[in-house]
Structure 1
Amino acid sequence: MSSPQTTLLAAAEISLNAPPTPVENRLSMPAQNIFKFDSRSRRRRPPSDDSRRGGGRNGEEAPAQPAAANPWLARFVAFGGGAALTAYGGHEMYRVVDVGGVTMLKWALLALFILNFSWIALSFTSAVVGFVVLLRRRAAPPTPTRLREKTVVVMPIYNEVPSRVVATLQAIFEDVEATGLGASFDWFFLSDTTNPDIWIAEERAFIALRRRLGAVGARVYYRRREKNTSRKAGNVAEFVCRWGGAYKHMVVLDADSLMSGQTIVRLAAVMEADPDAGVIQTLPLVINRNTLFARVQQFAARIYGPLIAAGLSEWMGRDGNYWGHNAIIRTEAFAAHCGLPDLRGRPPWGGHILSHDFVEAALMRRAGYAVYMLPTLGGSYEESPPSLIDLSIRDRRWCQGNLQHSRVLFGKGFHWASRQHFLTGIFGYLTSPLWLMQLFVGIALVFQASYFRPEYFTAEFGIFPVWPRFDAERSLELFGLTMAILLAPKFLGLLVALWERDTRRGAGGALMLFVSTVFEIVLSALLAPIMMLIQTGHVLHIVFGFDTGWDPQRRDDGSVPFTAIVRRHRSHVAMGVLSLIAGLLISPSLVAWMSPTIAGLILSIPISYLTGQRWLGLVFRRAGVLGTPEETTTPPVAKRGKALYKGLQRLGEDEANGLQAIHDDPQLRELHERWLPSRRPRQRGVISADRALAETKLAEAETIEDAVEWLNRGERLVALSDRALIDVVARLPSREKLAAKPAEAAE
């Protein structure tokens, strides 16, 4: 009779010997034509389908429909209210500049003001809608007792820390298993990793994961693409084409995503109950952040994020958007309608679509499927960049992707709401250069009034002179209105947080919640002019034809070197100093008006450096400032993921050299060779430089240490991808063994 330990070991061995990927079940995923669409092909909801009204199939009770089926009232408030506010603000600004006549510079100032004011007006009215929605919060969908259909959870990874992503997926896996519905889910690591050492570390971590999970670990799979064509969108699309036919739905994660088991099974249940749904998006909250910069983002996302998301969800209804992760997707519909074409021309405007998620949502909606959000579902988390430098790196890529949407904005058949999502993304980056232009025009007007002799009597006949001045009192009132509209969403979020007992207590009580909000507003005001210049630089970079590339995101809290911060922000400091000098020469009152902007720019180096420090963030955490409920009471899945990561990190396998690892571990080497794709024989006379050098260096290497020292990254990648070269690596002795041989012979 076998012992429990023997049984466990046998189960682990079964899991370990299972293939890394299941049998393929292919789906066709043709590239869609953005500018051609036959509306007759759009899906129509079957008349007999009552699932959207809350009735399930086969007599079962289905989750209540969470998305607003008739969002027109919310749209009227958000867009009508935003338009009314913009009209009022534009009228008041016209009266400000109309004193003494409107010059070309004043017309430019008025136009820029209206563009910028419309953005904050729409944000304000959408936040008002969200405020009302949260005060009458809808109940979350119930936890199902069974699921009929198979769902796959996929995590695309690209040169990430292996122990980190494996720990995260294991924590989510275990949380889903705890619901009793784990058999309804499969799990996939979709690796696009190009670093050979990380590739081998991923395989080693995957093997260890299956060993820890035992028999159920056979439902966790790992696939690595040799070429990361079309980046993340291509990674997911390749999976759908090869294995998508086996799964009705897929939950898409990011490398920093975390979702509770309850949330994932609820998403699957809602998708089952709503056959019209193509994409159902959750609201990811930011967690696990320690630097001061990231903690500010974490606090803002937790206190203001639900308000903004509730407003968006309400007016979007079933014509919503997709943010690329922490969402569930109907696999067959995604394959049939969301294949992305390459845009004509070269990057940054042409080529692969970077911000693929917006376009996929628009294509899904065009095909007749609903896309909506469950903003109050909970249990959905992500992480944020730890510093301003890291945010700017990610932001540059997002900027290119969003500006690319100008190429698809007028695609045929898109719902107007999808076009509005595109415009929101585009305008989100154009606001920075527009604000900067408005600032320059304002300075030019003050300069003109201060240094150029006015022409009081123009060539046109008039009884009264033309005075070049503004209505100062009305200007001050308009400034107050603008600031009130800009800050109102933050204070509405604060009111909701104060009203919700768990949020209020989790953030340290009413007083600390208020203190944290004020601190966040002040720091954000100092960061705003820096981000304005950074984003303006991104826009200009892309306009002049520079591609951003695709580097892996830094996720840990390690500080950015001070020299890198100085290099990144020295132009911002120079701009701040020049603005200060120009302001003092023109008018001291101009300096007072621009003081937040000037202070933020001049102090950009210390602000960026200090906010990126982990120790300073921990000081604020101990003081109770910027606290969130998830930080006070860590979600179990996050606590488990952190514990697993710390344990795996101590093994030190993330940084190991791939050649050395393959050489030292026969089981890893055997599985690695077994998992390599079959290749066609190399064509005679065709050989890459990396392969030639790898073969030569391995032939000359006397020890494995020689190979580790001599082969560079590209050559290691070639060696680890070829069974013949792996065999050469395996037969190399270590220096210790080689040195021991003469001694043995002498004895």
Structure 2
Amino acid sequence: MKIEQPSTLPLESPLAMPAQELGIWAGGARPLKRPGKRNFARLFVFAVTLVLVAIGTTLIYEVISPVDITSLQIIFAAIFALTFSWISFACASALLGFFVILARKEKRPRLAPMSAMGRTALLMPLYNEDPSMVFATLTRIGQGLVAKQAGAAFDIFVLSDTRKDHAAAQEVEAFEKLRAALGRQMGVFYRRRADNHHRKAGNIADFVTRWGGAYDHMIVLDADSDMWPDTLITLARAMALDSEAGIIQTLPILRNRWTAFARMTQFAGAIYGPLVAAGISAWHGRDGNYWGHNAIIRTKAFAAAAGLPELKGRKPFGGHVMSHDFIEAALIRRAGWAVYMLPDVKGSYEEPPPSLIDVAVRDRRWAQGNLQHAKIVSARGLHWISRMHLIQGIMSYLASPLWLLLLVVGLGLAAVARFTTPNYFPGIALFPAWPVFNPELALRLLWITAIVLYMPKILGLILALSDKEQRRSFGGAVGLINSFVAEILLSMLLSPIMMLVQTRCVIDIFSGRDSGWNTQNRNEEVMPFSSALQQHAQHVLAGVIFAFVAYSISVSAFLWMLPVVIGLLLAPVVSWATSRADLGRWLWKVNVFRTASEPRPATPSGRLVHAIPRMAIAYSRARAIKSRRQN
């Protein structure tokens, strides 16, 4: 491979970045001098979680064990308790965020003077990306910093790991234009690695070991990241004043996509994201997490504490650390540096995947990276909150196979109740014990589960409705409620599909299949329906099997499984339709999935081929003609 570099690179200022030992550490996590107020918040989250789990577990025990306890019932109750704990913890964290937002106004961080904010490197790692959008964003960011009289405090580094020579040539051409636009007012540099060792983590480490000594801080971006110049300056000034800060994370808001799937995820992120961020910021405190981008990092802390070791064993659990961000945050916190979020700092953005299939491709790599954390969660010296972050990452992918197992065991229990003779004399008894199913308890459990599951969404809706400016940005109260209902319904259809997608990921990983590292799809090209049908054929088959088995047991079992069955049977249609940008634009026009600070959608190239918008328009015109005739 021929590696061509532009002629100008800065003088190297290396920092040593030794690989950290996971099995050796002197003492526990180093305490912070300013730990922050978070004990009450943590007590609240864990207490609410325990209360909800106790209620749910008690109810499931009463529902499934009217007479005799069987091993299948014990398995069902245990799986239910695990999955219910997962959603209860999310509910408790969102509830905390709700109270935090109600109790305070927007909180701005304390900032150092502009003259004391130090030097910051903006790092843009690239891997076979389309350079046009990336360099347009960097040009806009750079020009904004120059306009704010901050150009001298920031340098831009484009760190290429691109393997394709023609794509690299396009990067170099785009970089030369960027340097021509900004080169006299701030530093702009490009480096392409010959060997993309350790992928993105290795790319960042290469920068640190070669040029890190020249910079107080670095802000890591993704190819789809965008940040306001004021936000970058605020982060640099906040870290310069807080000598204990190792990482300060922002809340990236999703935007810039027009497929129906992306519109849904952007709406969900806009309405629920701030609520979740307020909650986790409150109980994480200064023992927080890092999401790998749109955050500022103290360079010397990163170099000294966050060097990633090679994990022992074969892939997919061994080898280089794939989901490196959680581990870097845990190691930096272990070394005594604060890691926290500023949820009220605006102007941090990223783009969502355009379709369900793109999410599935990305999730395969993320699942492997998060499950790999099982080898790291017991590392010496980690703060217990850091261990919780790793466990949460693991559970985010184990939750799907647990849900699937819960459905299968539930059908097994229903089959046992339907086709076996009950034991009327369990143990030594003089009188029969009649098995009685209590539908009232079962319905109560269903309602409690639904409330716990949807509480974060309901709280986000309440906050949005109560804020006049935010309500207007979502299309008014009507648009907000329309979008809320549409998001709930669409999520219900997508959830069973994602359950099987993530379960397949977990099975592949435990079978020893490595995911590799593929470039993410960032365009909105129309997906052929044949592709959707091929990708989701196994999901349709699973829906047919679930429907057949449930109906064979009883009509009531079939009705309980119907939401899952419908989502799986419609998987190709839902996946194909939601991947379309014309449907997303139509939804915007009918006041669904609107979000703050976005322009009217551009007219799509080509004719609209989706049937739903045409049918809706035709129906409206027919109603208008009929009304005029009647009058």
CA shift in 2, pair 1:26/1:118, >3 Å: same
Identical counterparts, % of pairs: 48
The answer for the alignment partner of 2:145 in structure 1 is 176
- Encode CA deviations 1:407-457: one digit per residue, 9 max, x unaligned: 001000000000000010001111101111111111111111112222323
Alignment of 1:386-465 (within 5 A): 386-458=354-426, 460-465=427-432
Q: Offset at 1:463?
A: 2.6
1:357 aligns with 2:345: no
Structure 2 unaligned spans of 5+? 606-631
Q: Does the CA-based 8 Å contact 2:30-2:334 persist in structure 1? A: yes
Q: Offset at 1:214?
A: 5.1
Q: Does the CA-based 8 Å contact 1:157-1:190 persist in structure 2? A: yes
CA shift in 2, pair 1:346/1:18, >3 Å: closer
1:213 aligns with 2:213: no
Q: Offset at 1:387?
A: 0.3
CA shift in 2, pair 1:632/1:129, >3 Å: farther
Structure 1 stretch displaced more, 380-389 or 127-136: 127-136
- Encode CA deviations 1:89-132: one digit per residue, 9 max, x unaligned: 11111111220121111111110110010011111110011011
1:596 aligns with 2:563: yes
1:371 aligns with 2:336: no
Partner Cα distance (1:141, 1:18) in 2: 39
Partner Cα distance (1:610, 1:18) in 2: 44
Q: Does the CA-based 8 Å contact 2:79-2:406 persist in structure 1? A: yes
CA shift in 2, pair 1:319/1:43, >3 Å: closer
Q: Secondary structure at the match of 1:39?
A: coil
Partner Cα distance (1:298, 1:373) in 2: 21
CA shift in 2, pair 1:414/1:351, >3 Å: same
What is the identity, as a one-letter code, of the residue corresponding to 1:570?
A
1:311 aligns with 2:299: no
Partner Cα distance (1:140, 1:437) in 2: 46
1:567 aligns with 2:555: no
Q: Does the CA-based 8 Å contact 1:285-1:381 persist in structure 2? A: yes
The answer for the alignment partner of 1:27 in structure 2 is 15
What is the identity, as a one-letter code, of the residue corresponding to 1:70?
K
Partner Cα distance (1:483, 1:137) in 2: 31
1:626 aligns with 2:593: yes
Partner Cα distance (2:8, 2:53) in 1: 57
Q: Offset at 1:43?
A: 7.7
Within the candidate set 514, 529, 550, 1:583 is matched to 550
Alignment of 1:109-148 (within 5 A): 109-135=76-102, 136-141=104-109, 145-148=114-117
Q: Does the CA-based 8 Å contact 2:13-2:214 persist in structure 1? A: yes
CA shift in 2, pair 1:632/1:147, >3 Å: farther
Q: Does the CA-based 8 Å contact 2:6-2:172 persist in structure 1? A: no
1:529 aligns with 2:467: no
- Encode CA deviations 1:34-75: one digit per residue, 9 max, x unaligned: 111113994864xxxxxx6xxxxxxxxxxxxxxx81201110
Q: Secondary structure at the match of 1:464?
A: coil
CA shift in 2, pair 1:552/1:18, >3 Å: closer
Structure 1 stretch displaced more, 124-133 or 97-106: 97-106
Q: Offset at 1:28?
A: 0.3
Partner Cα distance (1:18, 1:120) in 2: 51
What is the identity, as a one-letter code, of the residue corresponding to 1:112?
I
Q: Does the CA-based 8 Å contact 2:373-2:394 persist in structure 1? A: yes
Q: Give the TM-score normalised by the residue count of structure 1.
A: 0.78
The answer for the alignment partner of 1:204 in structure 2 is 173
Q: CA RMSD in A?
A: 1.9
1:326 aligns with 2:294: yes
The answer for the alignment partner of 1:298 in structure 2 is 266
Partner Cα distance (2:250, 2:373) in 1: 23
Q: Secondary structure at the match of 1:629?
A: coil
Count of matched residue pairs: 597
Partner Cα distance (1:395, 1:356) in 2: 15
CA shift in 2, pair 1:128/1:186, >3 Å: same
Partner Cα distance (1:115, 1:148) in 2: 46
Q: Secondary structure at the match of 2:597?
A: helix
What is the identity, as a one-letter code, of the residue corresponding to 1:388?
L
Q: Secondary structure at the match of 1:215?
A: coil
Instruction: Give 1 or 2 for the bigger CA radius of gyration.
Output: 1
Q: Does the CA-based 8 Å contact 1:502-1:629 persist in structure 2? A: no
Alignment of 1:220-239 (within 5 A): 220-239=188-207
Partner Cα distance (2:432, 2:556) in 1: 26
The answer for the alignment partner of 1:258 in structure 2 is 226
The answer for the alignment partner of 2:621 in structure 1 is none
Q: Does the CA-based 8 Å contact 1:506-1:633 persist in structure 2? A: no
The answer for the alignment partner of 1:547 in structure 2 is 514
What is the identity, as a one-letter code, of the residue corresponding to 2:25?
F
Q: Secondary structure at the match of 1:583?
A: helix
The answer for the alignment partner of 2:622 in structure 1 is none
Partner Cα distance (2:519, 2:49) in 1: 38
Q: Offset at 1:87?
A: 1.2
The answer for the alignment partner of 1:695 in structure 2 is none
The answer for the alignment partner of 1:558 in structure 2 is 525
Q: Offset at 1:535?
A: 0.4
What is the identity, as a one-letter code, of the residue corresponding to 1:303?
I
The answer for the alignment partner of 1:727 in structure 2 is none
- Encode CA deviations 1:135-192: one digit per residue, 9 max, x unaligned: 2233223775434411111010100001111111111111222222221001100000
Alignment of 1:439-518 (within 5 A): 439-458=407-426, 460-518=427-485
Partner Cα distance (1:470, 1:393) in 2: 43
